Each structure stands twice: as structure tokens, then as C-alpha cells.
Amino acid sequence: MRRLALVLLVSGCARTIAPVDVSVSDEQAQLERGRYLATSVMVCGTCHARRDWSRYAGPPKEGTEFAGSGDIARDEHFSPKFSFFAPNLTPHHLGPWSNGEIARAVVFGQGRDGRGLFPYMPYFEYRESLARDDLSALISYLRTLPAIGTDPPGPQRFAMPRFVLDGLPEERPLREKAPQPGAPEYGRYLTEIAGCMGCHTRADRRGLPIGAPYAGGREFIVPAPGGGIVRSANLTLDDAAGLGRWTKERFIARFRTATVETARQQVVEPGGFNSVMPWWAWARMNDGDLGAIYDYLRTLPPTREPFARWSP
């Protein structure tokens, strides 16, 4: 009874955020920018897809990119207690949503019905970094996706109670324009909207950061038969542990080692090395932007926290 009263009290305080003002259009340059952001930089389809973990870096199963995930809690985090998925982003599901409602979900984490989204959806990052013009481009592109009628894998059970989730969405002032290539903050902007930091910073069991930013060492259980633990790389300037000795050419070339097509052909034997980093998605990023990310990473203070990259 007490608990129920608390839930009612707290959820009574959850604010409804107004749909976000975006200018969606079918102008070619806008759609092209949105496509590039969605597929190659912000890589929405690495979560909102069904991935094949029997292949290198878990490429999306044919025809599922943007069409929704399987049960992420069960398939990737081995949690029988919880169950959640990343919904279908094609018009099959988002068709009835207004542009402003989609935008609000992406940057402020409030669903169409006012509920707070589980923060596995990285809206905490997007609300701090994403510019309104890029948000508009992103939604313009989502509107053009062909409808794919995949059904959700089941009801969701999150690792957080509803009244906590519903308190998480918060409105922030958005920057109006994304920095242009060559601007001093361009590389940082791309690195932030791509979401490199979350994986490349050590975290506790709840996923809260405890290590130096970008110093790597965050542990992931590989969701493939045979498992294994893979730890993210140190992206700071340290000569031995990080990217100190890496040239820009080597950095860019590292992102050209797997495409969706080649990843699909690379079968991982049970217990063999596999990575949770969706290399196949960022392989679509252009050289200039990967170079800008490299330039930004080189401004990070060198940090050395030794760890093994892979434990079978």
C-alpha cells in the first residue's frame, strides 16, 4: 500500500514535455544528411535491428535494420528477469507519431504516451549534444524508410521501476546548428553524437561510468555461443595503452576492416574472439569525419589503466 502511494505521488510529478519543434522536409540535402547520420554516425540501426551474433561484430539480420530488435535483455545481457527491446523505427510503428513526438523521444526520452524511455536508448547523450538541424534531418529520413511490419518480441520488463523511468525525461535547450567540418568543435560533436564514450569508459554493474573517460576497459560479455569477455580499447593518447602511436591513416583504415557484407560472411566459432563494437556501421562514415574524430581523441589526456582486451 505504502509503495503504491509512493508510486502515485512520484509519477504525479512527472512532467509532460512539449513535442520538439523540428523542420522536417523531403528536400534532397536534408534526407541525405539524415540518412548519413542514422546509418553511419549515430547508427540507430545497431540497436533497432535484430543482430546475428554468430558473425563478426553482430551484423544486422537481412532486412531488419531500423525494424526493431529482439529481446536485448535476454539475448545480449543474459538477464532472464528483464526483457526489453528497441522498437521498430519504420512507419509501421512510427507512422501515427507526429514529427515533434519522435524528436521528443530521441532527445528528451519521453514516449508518445508520456512514459519515460529506458535510458539504454541514449537520450541522455543526445540531449546534451545533438543540434536541432541534425535532429530535423534525422526525422526527415526516418519518414522515408519503407514500412517493415516486424512485431515486438514481447512485453517489456525494465531493470528500473516505472515511477523512476517516468521521472527521467528532461527538457534541455538544444543548439540550433551542428558545427560544420573544419570548425574546432566538429570532431567532438561527431564523437558525442556517435556515442563512443559510453562503451569506451569503464562502468560499474549498473552501467555508471567509474573510469577515466575514453580510457577503455569496459567489460562486455560477447552475446555469441561460447561467450567470452571483450573489453573496450583505450582511445586516449597513451603511447602503449592507447592510440598515441596511431597515425590518422591507421585509424581510418581500422574502420574499413568490416562492412555489413564482410561481417555477415565472417563466422565466429563458438568461444572465438568477437567484438560488441558495431564496426560494420561506422565503416560507412567518410574519411573526413573519421579524421575529425581522430583529431578530437588526440586532445584527451593520456591515461593508462592496464587490462586484457579479451578473456575467452
Tell me the closest approach of the beta carbon of residue 1 to ligand HEC, in angstroms.
27
CA dist 11 and 245 (Å) reads 51
- Give yes or no for a contact between 176 and 132, defined as CB atoms under 8 angstroms apart: yes
> Taking a C-beta distance cutoff of 8 angstroms, is the pair 138, 126 a contact?
no
Minimum CB–partner distance for residue 12 and ligand HEC (Å): 20
Residues of the shown chain interacting with ligand HEC in the complex, contacts defined by CB under 6 A: 38, 42, 44, 46-48, 84, 86-87, 89, 102, 105-106, 111, 117-118, 120-122, 138, 156, 194-196, 199-200, 220, 230, 232-233, 235, 254, 275-277, 282, 293, 309
Toward ligand HEC, which CB reaches closer, 155 or 270?
155
24 vs 31: CA distance, rounded Å: 9
- In whole angstroms, how close is the CB of 9 to ligand HEC at the nearest point? 22
Min dist CB 148 to ligand HEC, Å, is 15
Q: Which of 51, 73, 72 is nearest to 63 (CA)?
A: 51
* Nearer CB in complex with ligand HEC: 150/232: 232
Nearer to ligand HEC, 235 or 237 (CB): 235
Residue closest to 74 by CA, chosen among 275, 278, 221? 221
Q: Which is nearer to ligand HEC, 11 or 156 (CB)?
A: 156
Place of cell 546548428: 177
Is 2 or 194 the residue whose CB approaches ligand HEC more closely?
194
Q: In the complex, what is the shortest distance from the CB of residue 212 to ligand HEC, in angstroms, rounded to a whole number? A: 16
CA atoms of 93 and 56, how far apart (whole Å): 29
Scored b (16 or more CB within 10 A) or e, 139-149 reads: bbbbbebeebe
